[in-house]
Every structure is written in C-alpha cells, then in structure tokens.
Amino acid sequence: MQLFDLTGQVAVITGSSRGIGKAIAERMAEHGAKVVISSRKPGPCDEVASEINAKHGEGRAIAVPANIASKEDLQRLVDDTNAAFGQIDILVCNAATNPYAGPMAGINDEQFGKILQNNVVSNHWLIQMVAPQMLERKAGSVIIVSSIGGLRGNALIGAYNISKAADMQLARNLAVEWGPSNVRVNCIAPGLVQTDFARYLWENPELLKQVTDPAPLKRIGQPDEIAGAAVYLAAPASAYMTGQTLVVDGGITIAW
Ligand SMILES: NC(=O)c1ccc[n+]([C@@H]2O[C@H](COP(=O)([O-])OP(=O)(O)OC[C@H]3O[C@@H](n4cnc5c(N)ncnc54)[C@H](OP(=O)(O)O)[C@@H]3O)[C@@H](O)[C@H]2O)c1
C-alpha cells in the first residue's frame, strides 16, 4: 500500500474551477484519483476537466456544475457522479461564500443566513447525500475546507468565521458518528491564500502586512500549498486521523 496513492478513487470537489479547489482536484488526479470538477459556471468547470483529461488521460475528470446553495443541484452532482464513475470515495466540501466584511452590528439577516446556508448547511446536505454509500462500503474520506478564521476572533469577517468554526464542529460530530464504519471526516484550515476569494484582503497592503509580519514564513500561501493536505486526508497516509482540523497557514496561528 502506497501512503499517498489515490488510484481508482473517485473524488468530488466543490468549488474546483479555480483557487484551492482546483489545486486539490489537480493534485488528487496526479495521485491517481478520478475527479469531479464543480462550481456554478459550466465553462470554467469544463476547462479544468479538459486540462486534467489532457494531462492524465480521458475519463479522469468530468465537469458537473452545481450551486451549493441548491439542494437539487447537489443531488444532481451526486447522481451524475455515481452514473459516470460508479461511486464516491472522497468528498471535498470546498466552495464557500462570504458576502460581508465589517462589524457584526452591520450584517443583515440575508447575508448572515447565506453564510450559514452555503458554508455549513450545504456541506451538511452534500455530506449526507454521499455518506450512505461510504458507510455501506465502510470506507470514505470527507474533507471540509474550513479556515484559520474559525480558530480566532475577528472584527472584519466574524460571521464567516462562525461558519468556519461550525465546519470544524461538523467534522468532529460526524467523525464520532461514522468512525465505527471507517468513514473519516476532517477539516483543513488554510491561512490567507492568494485566490479571488481573498483578493480584498491580500490586495490591501495594510491588511496584507498585518498577516505576513507576524507569520513565521512571512508570506501568504498559494492554492497548491493547500492541496497536499487534501491528498493526505484522502489517502491511506491519514487512515488513523479523523475529526481533526489540519492548519496550513505559514505558522500564523502559532506566533505571537
Ligand atoms: N483564499 C483564502 O485566503 C482562504 C483562506 C481560508 C479558507 N479559504 C476557504 O477555501 C475555500 C476555497 O476558496 P478559494 O480561496 O479557493 O476561492 P476562489 O478561488 O474564489 O474559488 C472559489 C470556488 O468556489 C466556486 N463557488 C463559489 N460560490 C459557489 C457556489 N455558491 N456554489 C458552487 N461553487 C461556488 C467558484 O466558482 P463559481 O464562481 O463558478 O461558482 C470557485 O470554483 C473556501 O471554503 C474558503 O472559505 C480560503
């Protein structure tokens, strides 16, 4: 058994048309997985799937667009994957939403509701749709992309951080429920990564400095630097790990 071998495993990765999700899909494919590329927009999903098929051979990637806010879309994502690849072995809940930055007093109910829906409840929906087959086979790895925001108080993105803390708790709860059936559930908590999602943070020189100055590695991360943690959590290398949150943040959370 190779520690990081994903040969023949089927991985569904939400939000994989760009950023961290795309890097995870590419690296999982490189380690042998068949991958399902998903986001709201069909065009970018098709492009990523085509790139992966061109690199690793036809049939290694398919595109199934789905908005994580829609239960129907998520069910179609699961059904289309089962139809194309037969089963789902690895689920990466990566797509998330943050429509608001500012003090908690200023967030409206719609914004708060959307954050909790997309970042917590939709993960719950999708995981519950995939779990029965994993539990039956007594094998499976669920990975939720959380954030170091879920480990810290913060005056700018407080509601988003509440959702990311809830993801860590979701992983702990499901790890306890499903451990006896050998289905593992873990989170990854990235620090600041250079993607479109966090552009408003890293493009602001003052905010960027606030992050990089105290960080031991003195820089923000790249999407590909998060992908290895996902490969690890999907692979036999992490067979004895469940309910945990793996922090990948250049050391920012351990520094003064
Ligand atoms: N970047 C950071 O600094 C950072 C730090 C910690 C945690 N994270 C977490 O990392 C994850 C990925 O973020 P990222 O930085 O890689 O973002 P990104 O580069 O902006 O990519 C986001 C991906 O999610 C898709 N997406 C957005 N809304 C969606 C929806 N409603 N339904 C389905 N797909 C949707 C996007 O495609 P479409 O627009 O086509 O839907 C895209 O594929 C998120 O959970 C985020 O909270 C990011």
Q: For the chain, what are the domain ranges? A: 10-192+224-247
What is the domain class of 10-192+224-247 according to CATH?
A: alpha beta
pLDDT per position as a tens digit, 114-133? 999 999 999 999 999 999 99
Query: Has 160 been annotated as catalytic?
Result: yes
Query: Could you tell me which residues come within 8 angstroms of residue 180 by beta carbon, excluding any fewer than 6 positions away?
Result: none
Q: Closest ligand 1 atom, CA of 20?
A: 16
pLDDT per position as a tens digit, 13-54? 999 999 999 999 999 999 999 999 999 999 999 999 999 999
pLDDT per position as a tens digit, 178-198? 999 999 999 999 999 999 999
Catalytic residue among 100, 160, 200, 232: 160
Which residue, by CA, sits nearest to atom 44 of ligand 1? 96
Residue 91 φ/ψ region, left for φ over 0, alpha for ψ in the -120 to 50 degree band, beta for the rest: beta
Rounded Cα distance between 212 and 220, Å, is: 6
Q: Which of 77, 64, 61 is nearest to 27 (CA)?
A: 61
Tokens at 26, concatenated: 């590419």
Using a cut of 0.85, tell me whether the model's pTM lies above it: yes
